[in-house]
Amino acid sequence: MKTIKGPAIFLAQFMDDKEPFNNLKNIGTWLAGLGYKAVQIPTWDNRCIDLKKAAESKTYADEIKGTLQEIGLEISELSVHLQSQLVASHPAYDIMFDGFAPTSVHNDPKARTAWAVQQVKLAAQASANLGLETVAAFSGALLWHTVYPWPQRPAGLVEAGFAELANRWMPILDEYDRLGINVAYELHPGEDLHDGVTFERFLQAVNNHSRANILYDPSHFVLQQLDYLAFIDFYHDRIKAFHVKDAEFLKNGKSGIYGGYQDWIDRPGRFRSLGDGQVDFGGIFTQLSRYGFDGWAVIEWECCIKDPVQGATEGADFVRKHIIEVTSKTFDDFASAGADTELNKRILGI
């Protein structure tokens, strides 16, 4: 068993042009004052990091680390969620996903994909320069529009989709392996990798690549009605990152897991601030500690009701209270009679 590190927080939902959210030092100072120990950095936000510079300059990477260390913070991981989404994207989403990329590659899916692949590779080199082990990512999606099989999926479609997804990711995974960095895919509705079965399909397609791993976020499993504690039993050896995010699923007679195209506040399944939803975090922290996860517990704040500042303020203490300092002794050691081979034989009557 190992002790989880934390609390940490993902910066993406908090960055703003207003102080103290307008640059890494300012938001870091604010978060350190709330009791946070690390931040997960969105690499697409230049207010936090210049990704290309961090990949090419160890000096710049050291400056970022130094800025955070001065205020008592570390970096948990770099995130490439937006860029990695574009590694594999179905044409139906081109117009909306162009917004994740620079204008120079808009209306040019091939150029956009090439840009995305390069961004994800830069994150590996930047992570190496920063002394990190894992990058948080999405898989992208070529098959999501077929998730519900109507009309009937043609034979071989799913296999072809995962073969192409693997073809796009294999060179990236090999580059990550060369640098000693893991990709932790957030299993998320909208991505081809959104549950255990789809992750297994991908693993098979990439020949069980050692760098293909999981960012565990139970909120997405609540919305899919998946057993998020049993998931840890199945996939604990591949969990390399952890988003602490709450959610709830409120059954009603009008809509279900698909949400009826409603805004988040009206959907049966919705994200909540920590402690306001249904996730059994006591069970999760116990399971992850039991299986030796010693990465960061990273809050990802997404709530359709509560203000983010209140969510962040309450979240640090919430995570701190859930972190288990794993024991180094067995509770009934005081009653031990000691043991040796001859004693054991006598007890067994042999």
DSSP code per residue over 230-248:
HHHHHHGGGEEEEEE-EEE
Using one digit for the tens of pLDDT, what is the confidence trace for 130-189? 999 999 999 999 999 999 999 999 999 999 999 999 999 999 999 999 999 999 999 999
Closest CA to 185 of 219, 136, 221, 232: 136
Q: Is the pLDDT of residue 333 over 90?
A: no
Instruction: Look up the pTM and report it.
Output: 0.96
Domain total of the chain: 1
Mean pLDDT of 259-277: 98
Q: Please name the helix (run of DSSP H) or strand (run of DSSP E) that holds residue 134, with its range, or none.
A: strand 134-137
Please say whether the beta carbons of 87 and 117 come within 8 A: yes
Phi, psi of 20, deg, nearest 5: -95, 25
For residues 200 and 192, give the distance between their C-alpha atoms in angstroms, rounded to a whole number: 11
Please say whether the beta carbons of 241 and 136 come within 8 A: yes
Is 21 buried (19+), middle (13-18) or exposed (0-12) by CB count in 10 A? middle
> 117 pLDDT band (50/70/90 cuts)?
very high
* CATH assignment of the domain containing 80: 3.20.20.150
Phi, psi of 199, deg, nearest 5: -65, -40
- For 278, the domain range is 5-348
Using one digit for the tens of pLDDT, what is the confidence trace for 172-197? 999 999 999 999 999 999 999 999 99
For residues 51 and 229, give the distance between their C-alpha atoms in angstroms, rounded to a whole number: 35
Using one digit for the tens of pLDDT, what is the confidence trace for 216-240? 999 999 999 999 999 999 999 999 9
Closest CA to 320 of 23, 37, 111: 37
For residues 107 and 126, give the distance between their C-alpha atoms in angstroms, rounded to a whole number: 28
